[in-house]
Chain A
Amino acid sequence: MEAQISRDMIVNHRSPPTSSSLQLRDEKEEEEEEEEVEEEVVVKEVEVEKEVEVETLSYKNRFVRVPVGHFWLEGDHHGHSLDSNSFGPVSVGLLHGRASHIIWPPSRWQRIEPTLPKNRGPLEEKEEEEEG
């Protein structure tokens, strides 16, 4: 599924996310300030928060323990995405806002629903024997 936000304008909810609102939902789309290039704003899909294990796609380690107060972000289009698979978990303090709607072009007016792609969720604790 290619990235659907590439040249769309989006409504960006700027109220700071409280930790309680983020804790319960694993799937939300967030904007973050990229660590390397400060001025760029990217829209990604958030996978986890708090201390959980994630299986990565192209990161240096196959399994990563996401520390407290960090997110694991991935773009919908894996091959063409600069995300946590390149620079690792991202601190919640870098979060800019949540992309809630696409407002331009008018043919793509829609509400952006939080969805987690299949098989990309956090690993359960019982899968620990799979750690490399």
Chain B
Amino acid sequence: MQVEMFRSVLGKTLGFVGYTVQYGCIAHCAFEYIGEFVVCSGPSMEPTIVNHDIVFCERMTRQLCKIQKGDIIIAKSPFDPNMNICKRVMGLEGDKVCTSSPSDLFKAHTYVPKGQVWLEGDNLRNSNDSRSYGPIPYALIRGRVCLKLWPPHSVGTLSESPTRRIIKTHSDSD
């Protein structure tokens, strides 16, 4: 009698563990390949994304290498691999980007090297981005922010760059 009870408890426990492992694997694959939820902090992307906003960052675009100019992306910090940064892509490889600030008299430009991207925050005055540490490798990008989920009054897709520093080339489609 006791052996039967023990067997049924063991069977149920193993079944529970099996389901946990299955759902854990599915959840891991979903976060790794489809998308994840990100809580943003910091002022560098105001007014588009403010402190404590929750956004959805999808991974498919980055896996297919289809990140475009003007996309907001989450990337690993080039100086600390355990930290993530959230910025807007202002230039892909080969693009011309403006490295001087809007208040400068003389404008300076550079071209983004192969395999790298130029990032800038929307809040130019309070953003530590490619203007200080240069372009970062494309492979550090984790995903593209496509939806804002919190706070409730600003749920939806995110707006275009308010800084108007994206330099369009002939090959860009309108």
Residue among A38, A91, A93 facing the most chain B CB atoms (10 A cut-off): A93
Interface residues of A in 37-89 (CB under 8 A from B): 37-38, 67-70
* A91 near B137: Cβ-Cβ < 8 Å: yes
Residues of A within 8 A of B (CB-CB), count: 17
A94 at the interface (CB under 8 A from B): yes
Chain B residues contacting A34 (CB-CB under 8 Å) are: 115
B77 at the interface (CB under 8 A from A): yes
Chain A residues contacting B139 (CB-CB under 8 Å) are: 33, 35, 38, 94
- Cα(A94)–Cα(B115), bound, Å: 12
Interface residues of B in 63-109 (CB under 8 A from A): 65, 76-82
B168 at the interface (CB under 8 A from A): no
* B81 near A91: Cβ-Cβ < 8 Å: yes
- Cα(A16)–Cα(B81), bound, Å: 10
* B115 near A37: Cβ-Cβ < 8 Å: yes
Chain B residues contacting A116 (CB-CB under 8 Å) are: none
A-B contact count (CB 8 A): 46
The one of B79, B82, B137 in contact with A67, judged by C-beta atoms closer than 8 angstroms, is B79
Chain B residues contacting A38 (CB-CB under 8 Å) are: 65, 115, 138-139
A123 at the interface (CB under 8 A from B): no
- Cα(A25)–Cα(B139), bound, Å: 25
- In the complex where A35-B137, A37-B115, A38-B138 touch, is A91 in contact with B78 (Cβ < 8 A)? yes
Residue among B76, B78, B136, B138 facing the most chain A CB atoms (10 A cut-off): B78
Residues of B within 8 A of A (CB-CB), count: 16
The one of B82, B114, B137 in contact with A94, judged by C-beta atoms closer than 8 angstroms, is B137
Interface residues of B in 115-165 (CB under 8 A from A): 115-116, 136-140
The one of A16, A68, A94, A95 in contact with B79, judged by C-beta atoms closer than 8 angstroms, is A68
Chain A residues contacting B115 (CB-CB under 8 Å) are: 34-38
A5 at the interface (CB under 8 A from B): no
- Cα(A69)–Cα(B82), bound, Å: 10
- Cα(A121)–Cα(B67), bound, Å: 38
- Cα(A11)–Cα(B77), bound, Å: 27
* A69 near B78: Cβ-Cβ < 8 Å: yes
- In the complex where A35-B115, A35-B116, A36-B115 touch, is A93 in contact with B81 (Cβ < 8 A)? yes
Chain B residues contacting A36 (CB-CB under 8 Å) are: 114-115
- B residues touching A (Cβ–Cβ < 8 Å)? 65, 76-82, 114-116, 136-140
Beyond known contacts A35-B138, A91-B81, A91-B140: 6 more, CB 8 A cutoff? A19-B80, A35-B139, A69-B80, A91-B76, A91-B136, A93-B77
26 A-B pairs (CB sep. < 8 Å): A19-B81, A33-B137, A33-B139, A34-B115, A35-B115, A35-B137, A35-B138, A35-B139, A36-B114, A36-B115, A37-B115, A38-B65, A38-B138, A38-B139, A68-B79, A68-B80, A69-B77, A69-B81, A70-B79, A93-B76, A93-B78, A93-B81, A94-B137, A94-B139, A94-B140, A95-B81
